Amino acid sequence: MSKRTRTILAAALALSLVALAFGAAGCTPKRGGTASASDTPVKGGTLSYYVNEPAYIDPYNTQESEGTNVEQSLFDSLTAINPLTSKLEPAAAESWKANSDGTVWTFKLRKGAKFHDGTPVGAKDFKYAWERIANPATDPKNPSVISYHLSPVKGFQEMADGKATDLTGVKVIDDLTLEVTLTESFADFEYVVAHPALAPVPKAAVEKDPKAFAEAPVGNGPFKMSGTWKHDQYIKVVRFDGYYGTKANLDGIDFKIFKDEDTAFREFEAGNIDFTSIPTGKIGASKTKYGVSADGYTVNPKTQVLLGAETAVYYMLMNNTDPILKNPKVRAAISMAINRQALCDTLYEGTRKPATGIVPPGIVGFQPNAWAATKYDLQGAKKMLADAGYPGGAGIPEFSLSFNTGQGHEKVMELVGSDLAKIGIKTKPDGAEWAQYLKQLDAGTYQIGRLGWIADYPIFDNFINPIFQSKSGDNKSKFVDASVDSAITDARKITDGAKRIAAYQDMEKKIGEQTPVAPLTFYAHRHVGSSRVHNLIYSPMGLGAFDKCWIVAPAAKK
């Protein structure tokens, strides 16, 4: 080999390796505080938290859990929901009261609360923020999709229809007093205003440049933006020292954006992020490796895997206007024939739990085993079907099982189909694109379908009213029962919390007797935190509670 060729060779090899070598010369990460007793909070450190790319982090249109997680670190609404008990706590409002029938609500705001830009938070900022959401003219191309939160407020409909520019039900009594009038009684409204999207926004900052505000919102919460949203990369927030409440232990949070949990989980295993979801297939191994959290919601070293129930339910829709499915016995037979435990074990590695009613755990007043027909009972299902006049499924034509494709529902439908075959009901899968599928549901041109319902607020009403109220747009099973409609109206007037919950519990049971839908599973967490994270609570609603969390770098391996 000539000298020259050797040089070329060396150069070629080196060039391909130099890049590696240079890159590999990493350094020890400098993060977190120093080690100390594990139960004493430590100040400092940056939590690194996985999210998908949010749709919006501006409360104007905060919709999915990703954006909401970021947004709620930047903003405080009037009230807040305890991440463990789901009970209400004061937030931007220090106190509030309703009139006797729950139609007029008065909120007293905290004195001295500030936005991140230093301007004081006042009642007018809530009115402005809510009008911004409710008014479709705010962004005619993309009106806020979460304006429905404000639909109980007087004047909302006029505004939504473009007939008014003032949300008449919201009155600024003085700087720190906000009065909200509703169109009808809604005793749970105090939970509605806890929604992170109903936070105040500073008018001056928004109107200076709405686009810039959407990229770096100025809020009133415990953390403030550091720089702007780097799309598909990260959102960095740091502690806001002018916060009115208890200041966070963390210096900040890096919301790292990944397109899927597989990449995020690899980064977690590489030690580069502190909190992520666990991809299916890795749950068993993670439980052994990281330890399971006792309450299912709190991450601490060695009890790092969260498997607590979420406030969401997956259910089968049955078209209550179908000539055969309008018979409640047929619906009950279908519901009883589904082996929910097998479904949870096969598809979700046992993380999700069989649904026992429509209202999931984590909702204030949750009652186990609310619906009898959710219990797997093959013989009972066969008998029920025979009682309905279809022994062994005779006389029932093939049902189509409609679902939206590409989200893993195929497998659920497969299992449900084979379960139904056992009682003699033949089915054929009918997958469609999401938008197309929704059209089918709205038009009622389906027989059996599926949907998931995720709570906006941890209250019974959030399940009963949208899913079963006869005029609700989300009542896709087309269930109509005048007594349920009037029971909802009545329950919404009960200002005594315990009595109200009892009324809803009763309602859930009564609806269950007719099996308008077949609840399949209650969603559950499958998340994991790193060993340096202490006391990070991930609520049943899927929101991180960052205020009491702290970080300690674990002692080096011996």
Partner 1 sequence: MLKYIARRVLQVIPVFIGVTLVLFLLQAVIPGDPVKMITGERAMSPALRLQIMKANNLDKPIPVQYVIYVNKLLHGDLGTSYQRGRAVRDMLGEKYPYTVKLAFAAIIIEIIVGIAAGIISAVKRYSFLDVLVTLSTSVLVSVPVFWLGMLLQVFFGILLKQWSGGQIYMPISGAGGLSTDFPDWVYLVLPAITLASVSTAYAARIMRSQLLEIMGADYIRTARAKGLTSQAVIWRHALKNALIPVVTFIGLDLGAMLSGAILTETVYNYPGIGLEIYLAIGRRDWPVVMGGVVLVVVVVMVINLIVDVSYAFLDPRIRYGGAAE
Which residues are near partner 1 by CB under 8 A? 1-2, 4-5, 8-9, 11-12, 15-16, 19-20, 22-30, 53, 55-56, 61, 63, 136, 139-143, 145, 148, 160-162, 211, 214, 230-234, 236, 254, 256-259, 263, 266-267, 269-272, 432-436, 438-439, 442, 472-474, 557
Pick the closest to residue 155 from 108, 147, 173, 473 (CA basis).
Answer: 147
Kindly list the distances between the CA atom of residue 505 and the CA atoms of 72, 354, 370, 371, in Å, as whole numbers in the listed order. 30, 19, 8, 11
The amino acid sitting at 128 is Y
Rg of the chain on CA atoms, in Å: 26
Bridge partners for 182 per DSSP: 153
Q: Which is nearer to partner 1, 380 or 466 (CB)?
A: 466
Contact (Cβ atoms closer than 8 angstroms) between residue 224 and residue 240:
yes
Q: Which is nearer to partner 1, 15 or 498 (CB)?
A: 15
d(CA 74, CA 64): 16
Q: In the bound complex, what is the minimum distance in angstroms from residue 312's beta carbon to partner 1?
A: 14
Q: Which is nearer to partner 1, 157 or 486 (CB)?
A: 157
* SS3 category, 403: strand
Tokens representing 376?
A: 């797997």
Q: In the bound complex, what is the minimum distance in angstroms from residue 244's beta carbon to partner 1?
A: 29
The Cα diameter of the chain in Å comes to 98
Q: In the bound complex, what is the minimum distance in angstroms from residue 558's beta carbon to partner 1?
A: 11
Q: Which is nearer to partner 1, 112 or 406 (CB)?
A: 406
Q: Which is nearer to partner 1, 298 or 462 (CB)?
A: 462
Q: Which is nearer to partner 1, 226 or 505 (CB)?
A: 226
Tokens representing 126?
A: 């809530």
Kindly list the distances between the CA atom of residue 347 and the CA atoms of 65, 201, 249, 342, 376, in Å, as whole numbers in the listed order. 22, 42, 38, 8, 17
d(CA 162, CA 305): 48
Q: In the bound complex, what is the minimum distance in angstroms from residue 457's beta carbon to partner 1?
A: 15
Q: Which is nearer to partner 1, 115 or 156 (CB)?
A: 156
Contact (Cβ atoms closer than 8 angstroms) between residue 353 and residue 523:
no
The torsion region of residue 117 among left (phi > 0), alpha (psi -120 to 50) and beta comes to alpha
Q: Which is nearer to partner 1, 105 or 453 (CB)?
A: 453
d(CA 176, CA 434): 44
d(CA 372, CA 554): 48
Q: Which is nearer to partner 1, 61 or 220 (CB)?
A: 61
Pick the closest to residue 109 from 244, 255, 219, 293 (CA basis).
Answer: 244
Contact (Cβ atoms closer than 8 angstroms) between residue 459 and residue 87:
no
Q: In the bound complex, what is the minimum distance in angstroms from residue 446's beta carbon to partner 1?
A: 14
Q: In the bound complex, what is the minimum distance in angstroms from residue 33's beta carbon to partner 1?
A: 17
Q: Which is nearer to partner 1, 118 or 473 (CB)?
A: 473
Contact (Cβ atoms closer than 8 angstroms) between residue 553 and residue 35:
yes
* SS3 category, 84: coil
Q: In the bound complex, what is the minimum distance in angstroms from residue 69's beta carbon to partner 1?
A: 17
Residues 442, 445, 447, 449, CA torsion sign: negative
d(CA 223, CA 241): 8
d(CA 7, CA 24): 24
Q: In the bound complex, what is the minimum distance in angstroms from residue 268's beta carbon to partner 1?
A: 10
Q: In the bound complex, what is the minimum distance in angstroms from residue 279's beta carbon to partner 1?
A: 13
Q: In the bound complex, what is the minimum distance in angstroms from residue 455's beta carbon to partner 1?
A: 15
Bridge partners for 552 per DSSP: 33
Q: In the bound complex, what is the minimum distance in angstroms from residue 278's beta carbon to partner 1?
A: 16
